[in-house]
Structure 1
């Protein structure tokens, strides 16, 4: 691949701002000096800062931010001015709202700039857990039992929910990630506060039945012919895989990659991961999360279109254990972005 001008887009106005910075640091390291990299940092208040050869993660703004080397400096740019930077491709490392939900993807698409990861529709569908579940159901791909609650509607009681769903219940915003806003509910008295927490992050809340099983994840990579990595397992020492378990408490969970699964089960999980990826129209990359029950059921939990790339994230580790070092994966993601852009550019737009 020739030397390219890569825009590394991170930060963002989302509850996962800090995770985005950690992910961007790892992506920047994986890009190395093979390409020219311009860091584009979106502050919590929506300002866009641009600089060459960024050093990420200095404590200069509300706990986390970006600093730039003296020779590059740091300058503010309007979002609409992004096209003037002469970027060959953008690598978005924006988790959650305003980054993983199709908004940035639509903006880059409108500017005509190639970008890593799924396009607008797949990003939006996967970000909305309710929409994703309904699409997977229509495709015949099994998932966890659930109920949907809207902010403008009546909140169901614990008794009503448990007529359909077996506790523990997990109450979560339909549009969020990194386990932000999720509460585990085992008794009626905790349900109201769980709804209050979830509705802080979205107008739609998903209530899922807790599944007794193993938490298995698979990394998927590709456009028209996607491939799946070896599965990995999240082994918990905490009650469930919450934000602290993922990013802040190294003793709350551990990764086992590859997961200790029978070959037939591992292959089935990889097949379903690719099926779910295709059903939702994903391209570039995604991480597909599963529950595998003691009875052998393989249930899709959710799909993350911009999974974490931190030192504690499964996506790069699973590819590493599949035989693809992270720098190779990053280069392949850029290649896939450029190939899709060229394919779509050939699409006829006149009668």
Structure 2
């Protein structure tokens, strides 16, 4: 009998994107071919406890906030109750100290479907590196840089890639001298501007400021999530995205365009309203599509990416100028998420995409931990 690949699917986590992760993980576990893979669900509760059990997904789903579940929970497995002191729950340090006795050591590869801080930002990737376990997606460096909006812009700028004017505010500065911070922003940028926590995803904590009062409220709201806040010049823009797949020789999918249901693509427009439109391929010229794909690959390399990423652009409606927005190193991962749909349109169906990502993870480990 052919050896099945032992895959751990890691989901949940302590970020505000916990519920999004549950949806992505369910899709991946359902999409992995049972003839090729044995799947072990690994859940991380919002309190940071790890649950390695066949019903780990159902347990976390039972504790999830239904209002934050994209598309509702009707497609999920039926949840069961979970005890915070359940004996199956442990902590990552205990798993690592267990050495060869750790249940994770029986796995060939882990698919860390974690969105946001303490999962997508290099922390879990570092743990898996220490344990010597191959994993899908970007390594510690790319994950950390991709999660941090300020450092992403620094990396893009250093590689000569186009980004919009932006400023970095530290929470301590804001708390000490809010009026001076507002003056500083207004002297360097023009309204509208977007205010973002540096280390969150899925548009959590992001707001659009059109005057001084909304800027003040936006900075205060972002500071509740992070000690570092990015303020970026706003433009009338189309949102263009492209998927990246590969290690040393990454490939780019056909581009797609998001037409948000609201004024911009916030959390509700992304996950809850169901009214945003996805256009794949994006209705842009072949020349512009080629430029988007080329810049996306350059951006992926600028952060030292591996495995996958979704690279997002802003296309100025007035000037036609193209700007890099961010590189999402673990985007939403259902069959109807942008990342997967753009590859579907490029000729790689969802199940084959999962196969390729696992192959890339094993390939990367086979070349050594510093291969990228």
Equivalent residue number for residue 314 of structure 2: 291
Match of 2:304 in 1: 281
Structure 1, unaligned stretches of length 5 or more? none
TM-score when normalising by structure 2: 0.87
Post-superposition CA distance 1:170-211 (Å, at most 9, x none): 111000000000111101112222111101111000001112
Distance in 2, matches of 1:250 and 1:58, equals: 24
Matched, 1:112 2:132: yes
CA–CA separation in structure 1 for the residues paired with 2:133 and 2:9: 13
Map 1:76-91 onto structure 2 (within 5 A): 76-79=89-92, 80-81=94-95, 83-85=102-104, 86-91=106-111
Shift of 1:47: 1.1
CA contact (8 A) 2:143 2:329 kept: yes
Any residues of structure 2 matched to 1:230-249 within 5 Å, and which?
Answer: 230-249=254-273
Shift of 1:237: 2.7
The answer to whether the Cα contact below 8 Å between 1:92 and 1:99 also exists between their aligned partners in 2 is yes
Report the Cα offset of residue 2 of structure 1: 5.3
Question: Is contact 1:213–1:292 with CA below 8 Å preserved after alignment?
Answer: yes
Partner of 1:305: 329
Secondary structure of the equivalent of 2:142? helix
Contact preservation (8 Å) 1:21, 1:57: no
Tell me the number of residue pairs that the alignment of Structure 1 and Structure 2 aligns.
343
For 1:345 and 1:242, locate their aligned partners in 2 and report how far apart those are by CA, in whole Å: 36
Equivalent-residue separation in structure 2 for 1:13 and 1:272 (angstroms): 32
- Which residue in the other structure is 1:18 paired with? 19
Shift of 1:310: 3.2
Alignment correspondent of 1:103:
123
For residues 315 and 229 of structure 2, the distance between their equivalents in structure 1, rounded to whole angstroms, comes to 24
Mapped partners of 1:203, 1:230: distance in 2? 36
- C-alpha spacing 1:61/1:55, structure 2 compared with 1 (3 Å): closer
* Structure 1 residues 296 and 111, CA gap change in structure 2 (3 angstroms): same
Does residue 45 of structure 1 match 2:32? no
SS at match of 2:153: helix
Q: Greater strand share, 1 or 2?
A: 1
Q: For residues 73-101 of structure 1, give each alpha carbon's deviation from its aligned partner in whole angstroms, at most 9, with x where no partner exists.
A: 99224323264330100000000010011
Deviations 1:41-72 (A, max 9, x none): 00011111112376658752143698789xxx
Contact 1:19 1:310 in 2 (8 A): no
Q: Which structure 2 segments of 5+ residues have no match?
A: 67-75, 81-85, 97-101
Q: Give structure 1 regions of 4+ aligned residues with deviation exceeding 4 angstroms.
A: 53-59, 64-69, 156-159
1:131 to 151, 156, 170: 151
Secondary structure (helix, strand or coil) at the match of 2:53 reads strand
Q: Residue in 2 aligned with 1:35? A: 37
Match of 2:251 among 227, 242, 245: 227
TM-score w.r.t. structure 1 length?
A: 0.92
1:1-351 alignment, distance < 5 Å: 3-33=4-34, 34-52=36-54, 56=58, 59-63=61-65, 75-79=88-92, 80-81=94-95, 83-85=102-104, 86-153=106-173, 154-155=177-178, 156-251=180-275, 253-294=276-317, 295-310=319-334, 312-344=336-368
- Greater helix fraction, Structure 1 or Structure 2: 2
Residues 116-125 or 46-55, more deviating: 46-55
User: What's the offset of the Cα at 1:311?
Assistant: 5.2
Structure 1 residue matching 2:259: 3-state secondary structure: strand
Partners of 2:7 and 2:309 lie apart in 1 by: 20
Q: Does structure 2 retain, via aligned residues, the 8 Å contact 1:286–1:303?
A: yes
